[in-house]
Structure 1
Amino acid sequence: MRPTRNCPWNKCAFCSLYKGEKFQIRKVEEIKGDIDAVKRIEELIKEGSDEVNKVPRRCLTMVFAWVRSGKRTVFLQDSNTPIMRTSQLVEVIEYLRETFPAIERVTSYARSKTIARKSLEDLSELKEAGLGRLHLGLESGDDDILKMVNKGVTAEEHIEAGQKALEAGFELSEYVMPDLGGRELFEEHALNTANVLNKINPDYIRMRPLSVRKGTKLYEKWEKKDFQLSSPHERLREIKIMIKNLEVSAKLCFDHRLNGWRDKSGNRLFKVDYEGYELPEEKDLLLSLVEEGLRVDESHHLDVRKLKTPSL
């Protein structure tokens, strides 16, 4: 569901999404209309009505898949829906849950800057209304790197946002981007990101390795050789530093295809699922996996520098 469209910031040097697109906060009644439309399509499916043939194929397929899955989860898109006025978003979430009582979890992406600016009272209202999980793009905990990629947020704001989200009762996922500092700043990236995560102590840490995408400022720097991507082994060494310095009770997840390292048998080095590895319980296991990956010849690992197009 898209209560908002596109991104209100849209300036990150590594991001190619939403370029040329204007950010929009949709009207509450329009969003409710979408919810009503989904409900009507569900009814047509259950009735076996011929009217269902008038529904656009893509919409029908999506609603059918969601209904078949049990209607348990909803993701609010696009990049920063909590930027809506709290009262309006509360109204949307409450209407959504009233219309579909089977929903167990509502999730949204959000910018740390937005969450940091929201009052704890506002965040608590959203949680009480039924927004249960937030995904924040931490990317890095190093201020120089955050400035370099024009993230529009500081490490301290990341910490404030994460702590406030948890205090309000949200389940929190923080996204980290290995190699965002490149070869030059890999150690600062690893150490300062671990430091920020330690102060937040989120529920999930999700690894999203950097790929430089055409049409971005970082791609331009990479083409001019002003930014150097790390090798697969160098990325693993960076991750090793980060893991060694993490002191959190969280799940560390490698649930993205760019986590393309291989073990000695040629299988994926890290398991690819949404629950990942428990920290601190599986910290030693993770470090041993990193060491195994470092013993595997680099030619067996995914190397974003050698892809035909770095735009993934």
Structure 2
Amino acid sequence: MPKPVIWITRTLSDATLARARRDYEVIWDPADTPGSADDIIAMSAKVDGMIPCHSEHFSADVVAQLDRRLKIVANHSVGVDHCDLPALRAKGITVTNTPGVLSDATAELAMMLMLGAARHAVEGDRTVRSGAWDFWSPAFLVGKQVTGARLGIVGMGGVGRAFARKARGFDMEIHYHNRSRLSPKDEADAIYHDNLDDLLEVSDFLSLHCPATPDTTGLLNAKRLAQMPKGCVVVNTARGALVDEDALLAAIKSGHVGAAGLDCFVTEPGGNPAFAQHENIMMMPHAGSGTVTTRNAMGFKALDNLDAFFRGDQPPDQL
């Protein structure tokens, strides 16, 4: 019996590629460039399944042109805002994601960004690296202390809860807003706010961990930033669409927001060049899940979903 043919759109981990080649006929381009709409449409007539990343966009227009041969899109991501799920389902295409395996890696990066933004890591690194460190003063690079501060978390899914666990190591007071209140076990003495505005008012630090949806696009806008304490620190390792970037820049310039740590942007790749003018904004290129352990786990989860589908079972992470 011939093996199913799959398209892997980007360069996944060596272990993932090796396993995929063992079990499937794999189409993969080592040039590692994002798949365009035309690529996706053309490839749909050649493969039975795809493993795309968030860099490939399955809009309703693209989905309408997909060949009937394509039966499953096994995303190498947790977020699926790049997919028009109703359109894919209407086309009879199964869609899966990779939940539960990247929470710790993303939470680690959020912690790094929070600490780095609060303690002038960008400016400090540049000062030493450039050879400009030729003085010291008690007033030099005085930052915002994390230990004991109030942390607001928007979205208490897997990543949000992992971040809360790590923040407790700094004795932070955890506050959160979520679509629904967590169980007492998962809440672990965090303080629930059913209203986002109430959360913002007590957030010395704010970390975003919710998905990008029509309801959350532009969630952190000028009005909401103004509700936060002066000198607050904003961290976003979720999706760039959650933040009104012009509003955040204005709040940084005014000093109302003291610093920011960003791993995602409205425009990706590339980010927002205006942010680069401010050394109190620490940035990473959407690398939250970027550890060997996590990228292997994500790839294996995508393959687990494909394996289940092609043997006639429901994939464990079907959406």
Q: Same fold (TM over 0.5)?
A: no
Q: Taking CA–CA contacts closer than 8 Å with sequence separation of 6 or more, which of the two structures ends up with the larger relative contact order?
A: 2
Higher helix share: 1
- The two structures have a TM-score, normalised by structure 2, of 0.28
